[in-house]
Homo-oligomer: A and B are copies of this chain.
Amino acid sequence: MFRDKTCGELRLADAGRSVRLAGWVQRVRKMGGMTFLDLRDRYGITQVVFNQEVNPEVCGIANSLGREYVVEISGKVEERTSKNPALPTGDIEIIASDVKILNKSEIPPFTIEDNTDGGDDLRMKYRYLDLRRPCVRKNLELRHKMAFEIRRYLDSKGFLEIETPILVKSTPEGARDFVVPSRMNPGEFYALPQSPQLFKQLLMVSGYDRYFQIAKCFRDEDLRADRQPEFTQIDCEMSFVEQEDVIEMFEGLVKHIFKYTKDIEFADPFPRMTWADAMRLYGSDKPDIRFGMQFVELTDLAQGKGFSVADDAQIVVGICAPGCASYTRKQIDQLTDFVKRPQVGAKGMIWVKFEEDGSVKSSVGKFYTEEQLKEWGERADAKPGDLLLVLTGETMKTRKQLCELRLEMGNRLGLRDKNVFAPLWVVDFPLFEWDEETQRYYAMHHPFTSPNPEDIPMLRTDTGNVRATAYDIIVNGTELGGGSIRIHDAALQDEMFELLGFTPERAHEQFGFLMDAFKYGAPPHGGLALGFDRFVSILAGLDTIRDVIAFPKNNSGRDVMNESPSPIDDAQLDELRLRLVPADGEEKK
């Protein structure tokens, strides 16, 4: 061992002790006849002192050290005269008797500090140096701790972690599957799993009534800002349960994680909201309930007064921004610009100011009397000083636009504190989603999701309104995960496939082995999956999952550190019996 203590553990009580430390040179300062070295490792920073007079040779080596050199230091712990309260080790320093250079370092391309001078691309190229920065390290430490606590909780509840394969069956329509050619079975391919869904349902058939896995999943799709081609999922399934049992178990998990990693206790059950309410009150199936500003529908009040924008709309809906009546013309214009951005897509924004003096000002003053606008205010529970912001149009689109505006107002008013956590269950999702383009229904979750038993009679008569036994867990407006009770009845599953437009052949081709398994005694079962990367990033207070992944890929699915993906040898292609087709469609020799 090159050390007997770490750079994070020495305290005043250790004064007088002889120690050996090893780590990286954070910085070296010469002050008069003394040289001060900040030595860094995973556990912290310890100050080391070299005295030119007492030990000129050793001090000379210290003076030669560059940033990020790896050194081993021997010395004695002493109380510091000028303590550094910002450091846990700030009460002591090491009076060095020896220093050994274990490895040199070139000058790193950016500073190894939380506030680094390195840009994003540079840090990704040198990710191994970026990972030295304490703020990045803390994310990975949190990730480890969370994974450990997840396992501790689930193990204590009798769950078994069972590894399912990474090389799985490629399914037709698996456009988003990564595929893996098999050398031993030329012309055939494995796929990488988008989730262990089929396997976990098989495990239920096999009687493993409480399964979980922290599982790698894969999607070969265009990466939006915050997606990765490989990601990690906390995948869970239980047998002999109903929705309430699943929700209770995993609410317990989320509470456990908050308690043991953030020291936050949630005394009460997490609130629940139906999907219909979430859409109606927040215009989103993942509402951020850290703040209010629920939607207020004004359609009946706004229509029939000769204002065609309202009259032609399916919905007139607003939010009341507290204390914002004082907004200037410029601020209001910014908000109007915000909702008119193509990403939001509104045509315009109506505003009504309820002034402190009781008067009302509005962008639609020509169309409505002050009395009428006061009615709007009453319905919105607007207080003097509040600002009502109203959008109009087609119901679902307008709600989504207003959702964006609400979140923007939340940001502006500082109501979205990263240290406040507001979990929420959204329940009673629709089972089906209508697709205009293909003019058919799709499963909103997946084709194994069970309908709400009450709604089974409506499956064919009122398909669009059938509720699923499906639930999502939301934290701070981000979907942490979700799941459903699955169909375990073969006849009902057949009906679902039919409604979803699967021919029996295609259903069998795609899910055959699961459907075969279901013939041999499938128990009632259900489960859920949580996005682990997302879970860590929420608790770390980060906006992107990339920062909680040790070696992430960029938006093109590339690892810029090791330059993958990359071309492979022709010999290897030959072995796989594959040939590349260049972009112009000509064969490559």
The answer to whether B169 and A562 touch across the interface, beta carbons within 8 angstroms, is yes
Docked complex: A161-208 residues within 8 A CB-CB of B: 161-170, 172, 174-175, 177-192, 198-199, 202-203, 205-208
Kindly state the separation between the CA atoms of A553 and B186 in the bound complex, as whole angstroms.
Answer: 16
Kindly state the separation between the CA atoms of A488 and B488 in the bound complex, as whole angstroms.
Answer: 56
The answer to whether B522 and A103 touch across the interface, beta carbons within 8 angstroms, is yes
Partner of A580, one of B106, B169, B566, B577: B577
In whole Å, how far is A576's beta carbon from the nearest beta carbon of chain B? 7
Which residues on the B side are within 8 Å of A178 (C-beta)?
A: 167, 180-181, 190
A353 touches B (CB below 8 Å): no
Docked complex: A255-303 residues within 8 A CB-CB of B: none
The answer to whether B240 and A68 touch across the interface, beta carbons within 8 angstroms, is no
In whole Å, how far is A9's beta carbon from the nearest beta carbon of chain B? 11
Kindly state the separation between the CA atoms of A365 and B438 in the bound complex, as whole angstroms.
Answer: 90
Kindly state the separation between the CA atoms of A105 and B127 in the bound complex, as whole angstroms.
Answer: 54
A58 touches B (CB below 8 Å): no
Comparing A30-38, A402-410, A567-575, the segment that makes contact with chain B is A567-575
A1 touches B (CB below 8 Å): yes
The answer to whether A185 and B556 touch across the interface, beta carbons within 8 angstroms, is yes
Kindly state the separation between the CA atoms of A566 and B167 in the bound complex, as whole angstroms.
Answer: 11
Query: With A104-B521, A128-B205, A520-B129 as given contacts, are A186 and B556 in contact (CB-CB < 8 Å)?
Result: no
Which residues on the B side are within 8 Å of A102 (C-beta)?
A: 488, 523-524
A-B contact pairs, 14 of them (CB 8 A): A22-B523, A102-B524, A128-B202, A129-B520, A137-B207, A167-B229, A168-B559, A170-B568, A172-B569, A184-B222, A184-B556, A189-B566, A189-B568, A577-B582
A: residues with CB less than 8 A from B are: 1-3, 22-24, 40-42, 68-70, 72, 102-106, 108, 126-129, 131-132, 137, 140-141, 143-144, 147-148, 151, 155, 160-170, 172, 174-175, 177-192, 198-199, 202-203, 205-209, 216, 218, 220, 222-223, 229-230, 232, 240-242, 245, 488-489, 513, 517, 519-524, 549-551, 553, 556-559, 561-569, 572, 574-583, 587
Given contacts A3-B240, A168-B559, A170-B565, 20 further A-B contacts (CB under 8 A): A2-B240, A2-B241, A2-B524, A40-B207, A102-B488, A103-B489, A103-B521, A140-B162, A163-B550, A164-B550, A167-B229, A167-B565, A168-B564, A177-B572, A189-B568, A513-B561, A513-B562, A577-B580, A577-B581, A587-B587
